[in-house]
């Protein structure tokens, strides 16, 4: 059943709020803990539906996965190559990350795994993952266009490969590296543009041999050595910088605001949005910078700011691919034009995010242009009209972006369905309201 929410203009946002754990790192912590020998503990795990689906999948693949009374998680892994054939279909819900990474994981195990998901996930293409994994010996049987439901018949004798990514994608890179763990020799992925490196950092933390070197012709070659002895580790999950983007942009847009977001991940391959916001004139300060389980974190202090339009280079897209929807909202309030290039990847996310943002902004009174891989937002330096109902296409980032817009636009903004928000940011409305927002169920 749809869950419509409406967001209204507020006078000020203030206070401190702990953002849920990083989704990318949460998925990987569960997977690598399941591959390690011995006990791993995970603190700060994002308990959204996407990550809980991964936890269920790891149980189905033979690992012991338990949530403790204090909110931490404990895993007893099976060792590399020790996963078992699941007795039932793995339903990954809305989680593209979980599905694609797990396809890589099981592709090098000699059994069959069947994946499915909700309507949104079943509409998303998986060919970009299955193509390189087929070269390693796995077979894939799915719907036309390489879509779920899909059976993955794992390789009995997996082959190491060297694969150059045709499109920058941390998910595809990670799927290949995960398959390489249970493959003899060295498996290498070449990326011309750097993508988030959580897989490499965490694999090293668990004891794998992973090299990152300059690639001939530019970019990087990431190589994993097969059959490592992964050892259980404690993992502290930083607050998710992609989720932190929503209250951060809200504070920038609502006059007189100042908020603190503690312990947010500041991995430089994830901070393209914040770099862009600073270029737009945002008042964002990193306080108490530190390292946490191999990942850099800091407290974000954000104050309201008058923003100006900028050109966002296409090469920045891999470091902020999930944040373009909320950047487009910020651009709608900025003075001048903001041009975002290299956004083709947005058309195959949970929804066609590029089209969804263009339609939603236009409905709220914002002048916007859309091409195949570019979004141009013409800001006026004033609050857009709002006064619209936006279709979210069951996309959590579209829903949250327009709820943020409603906090500073002239009139309220409604989203037709906010249910998907729980996949990545459970408690989003309550957290925003705790800072001074006004997000309500329709009819309240």
Residues designated catalytic: 322
* E-state strands within 57-202: 64-67, 73-76, 90-91, 112-116, 139-143, 147-153, 162-164, 186-191
Alpha carbons 129 and 401: distance in angstroms, whole number: 28
Do the Cβ atoms of 406 and 6 come closer than 8 Å?
A: yes
Q: Is 353 annotated as a binding residue?
A: yes
Alpha carbons 378 and 5: distance in angstroms, whole number: 26
Q: Is 349 annotated as a binding residue?
A: yes
Alpha-carbon separation of residue 347 from 165, 199, 372 (angstroms): 18, 24, 9
Question: Interhelix angle for 324-333 vs 396-408, to 10°?
Answer: 20
Q: Is 169 annotated as a binding residue?
A: yes
Instruction: Give the strand pairing for 234-236 and 39-43.
Output: parallel
- The DSSP symbol for 37 reads B
Q: Is 174 annotated as a binding residue?
A: no
Q: Is 72 annotated as a binding residue?
A: no
Task: Report CA torsion sign: 292, 47, 74, 82.
Answer: negative
3-state secondary structure of 133: helix
Residue 373, both tokens: 């891989």
Q: Is 23 annotated as a binding residue?
A: yes
Q: Is 308 annotated as a binding residue?
A: no
Q: Is 173 annotated as a binding residue?
A: no
- Phi, psi values for residue 149, rounded to 5°: -65, 150
Residue corresponding to tokens 């409406």: 6
Instruction: Give the strand pairing for 112-116 and 147-153.
Output: antiparallel
Residue corresponding to tokens 């007189």: 256
Q: Is 144 annotated as a binding residue?
A: no
Can you say which residues are annotated as belonging to the binding site for phosphoenolpyruvate? 23, 96, 124, 171, 353, 397
Binding residues: 23-24, 28, 96, 124, 169, 171, 322, 349, 353, 397
Q: Residues annotated in the binding site for 3-phosphoshikimate, as ranges?
A: 23-24, 28, 169, 171, 322, 349
């Amino acid at each position: 059943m749809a869950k419509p929410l409406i967001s209204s203009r507020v006078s000020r946002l203030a206070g401190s709020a702990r953002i849920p754990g990083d989704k990318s790192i949460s998925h990987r912590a569960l997977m690598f803990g399941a591959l390690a020998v011995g006990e791993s503990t995970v603190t700060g795990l994002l308990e959204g539906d996407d990550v809980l689906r991964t936890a269920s999948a790891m149980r189905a693949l033979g690992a012991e996965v338990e949530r403790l009374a204090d909110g931490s998680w404990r895993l007893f892994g099976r060792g590399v190559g020790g996963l078992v054939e699941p007795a039932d279909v793995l339903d990954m819900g809305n989680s593209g990350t979980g599905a694609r990474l797990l396809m890589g994981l099981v592709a090098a195990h000699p059994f069959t795994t069947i994946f499915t998901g909700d309507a949104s996930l079943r509409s998303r293409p998986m060919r970009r993952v299955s193509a390189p994994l087929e070269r390693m010996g796995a077979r894939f049987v799915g719907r036309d266009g390489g879509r779920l439901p899909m059976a993955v018949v794992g390789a009995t004798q997996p082959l190491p490969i060297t694969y150059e990514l045709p499109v920058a994608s941390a998910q595809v890179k990670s799927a290949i590296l995960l398959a390489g763990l249970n493959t003899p020799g060295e498996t290498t992925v070449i990326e011309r543009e750097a993508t988030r490196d959580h897989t490499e950092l965490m694999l090293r933390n668990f004891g794998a041999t992973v090299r990152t070197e300059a690639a001939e012709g530019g970019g990087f070659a990431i190589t994993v050595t097969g059959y490592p002895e992964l050892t259980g580790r404690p993992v502290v999950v930083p607050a998710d910088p992609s989720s932190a983007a929503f209250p951060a942009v809200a504070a920038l847009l609502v006059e007189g605001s100042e908020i603190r977001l503690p312990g947010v991940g500041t991995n430089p391959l994830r901070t393209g949005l914040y770099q862009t916001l600073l270029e737009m004139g945002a008042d964002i300060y990193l306080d108490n910078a530190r390292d946490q389980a191999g990942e850099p974190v800091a407290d974000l202090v954000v104050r309201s700011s008058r923003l100006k339009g900028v050109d966002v280079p296409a090469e920045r897209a891999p470091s902020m691919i999930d944040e373009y929807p909320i950047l487009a909202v910020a651009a709608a309030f900025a003075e001048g034009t903001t041009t975002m290039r290299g956004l083709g990847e947005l058309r195959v996310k949970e929804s066609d995010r590029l089209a969804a943002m263009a339609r939603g902004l236009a409905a709220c009174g914002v002048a916007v242009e859309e091409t195949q891989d570019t979004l141009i937002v013409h800001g006026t330096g004033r609050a857009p009209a709002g006064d619209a109902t936006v279709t979210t296409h069951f996309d959590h980032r579209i829903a949250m972006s327009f709820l943020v817009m409603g906090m500073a636009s002239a009139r309220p903004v409604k989203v037709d369905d906010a249910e998907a928000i729980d996949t990545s940011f459970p408690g989003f409305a309550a957290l925003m309201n705790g800072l001074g927002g006004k997000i309500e169920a329709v009819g309240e």
